[in-house]
Structure 1
Amino acid sequence: MEKHRKCVVVTGFGPFGEHAVNASWVAVQELEKAGLQDGINLHVYEVPVEYQTVQRLIPDLWMKHNPELIVHVGVSGMATMVTLEKCGHNKGYLGLDVRQFCPDTECCVDGGPECLHSVIDIDTVCKKATEAELDVQFTVSTDAGRYLCDFTYYTSLYKSQGKSVFIHVPPLGKPYTASQLGRALQIIINTILDMLEQSEDQITCHQKH
Structure 2
Amino acid sequence: MDTKKTVIVTGFEPFGEHKVNASWIAVQELEKLSLGEDIHLLVKEIPVEYKAVSELLPSLWKQYQPELVVHVGVSGMATSVTLEQCGHNHGYNRLDNCDFCPNSQCCIDQGPDCIMSVIDMEAVCKKVNSSSMGVAFSVSKDAGRYLCDYTYYTSLYLGNRRCAFVHVPPLGKRHSAEDLGRALQAVILEMVQRLEDHMDHNQDQDRCQLGH
After TM superposition, the score normalised by the length of structure 1 is: 0.93
The AA in structure 2 aligned to 1:152 is: T
RMSD (CA atoms): 1.5
Tell me by how many angstroms 1:59 deviates: 0.8
SS at match of 2:69: strand
Tell me by how many angstroms 1:71 deviates: 0.1
Aligned mates of 2:194, 2:114 — CA distance in 1: 24
Tell me by how many angstroms 1:196 deviates: 2.5
Residue 209 of structure 2 is matched in structure 1 by none
SS at match of 2:124: helix
CA deviations 1:64-116 (Å, max 9, x no partner) are: 11011000000000000000000000000000000000000000001110000
Aligned mates of 2:20, 2:14 — CA distance in 1: 6
- Write the mapping of 1:85-124 to structure 2, written as runs, cut at 5 A: 85-124=84-123
The AA in structure 2 aligned to 1:85 is: E
Aligned mates of 1:11, 1:137 — CA distance in 2: 21
SS at match of 1:29: helix
Residue 79 of structure 1 is matched in structure 2 by 78
Aligned mates of 2:196, 2:27 — CA distance in 1: 23
SS at match of 2:25: helix
Residue 24 of structure 2 is matched in structure 1 by 25
SS at match of 2:127: helix
Contact 2:87-2:115 at 8 Å conserved across structures: yes
- Write the mapping of 1:123-162 to structure 2, written as runs, cut at 5 A: 123-162=122-161
Aligned mates of 1:157, 1:146 — CA distance in 2: 15
Tell me by how many angstroms 1:193 deviates: 1.4
CA deviations 1:111-136 (Å, max 9, x no partner) are: 11000000001110101111111110
Aligned mates of 1:95, 1:199 — CA distance in 2: 34
SS at match of 1:16: coil
Aligned mates of 1:121, 1:59 — CA distance in 2: 24
The AA in structure 1 aligned to 2:98 is: R
Residue 205 of structure 1 is matched in structure 2 by none
Tell me by how many angstroms 1:3 deviates: 5.4
Aligned mates of 1:136, 1:21 — CA distance in 2: 21
For the pair shown, the structure with the greater C-alpha radius of gyration is 1
Quick one: percent identity of the two aligned structures? 58
SS at match of 1:72: strand
The AA in structure 1 aligned to 2:152 is: Y
Higher helix share: 1
After TM superposition, the score normalised by the length of structure 2 is: 0.92
The AA in structure 1 aligned to 2:83 is: L
Runs ≥4 residues deviating over 3 A: 197-201
Tell me by how many angstroms 1:197 deviates: 4.2
Tell me by how many angstroms 1:52 deviates: 0.2
Mark the CA change 1:79 to 1:200 in structure 2 (over 3 Å): closer, same or farther. closer
Residue 195 of structure 2 is matched in structure 1 by 196
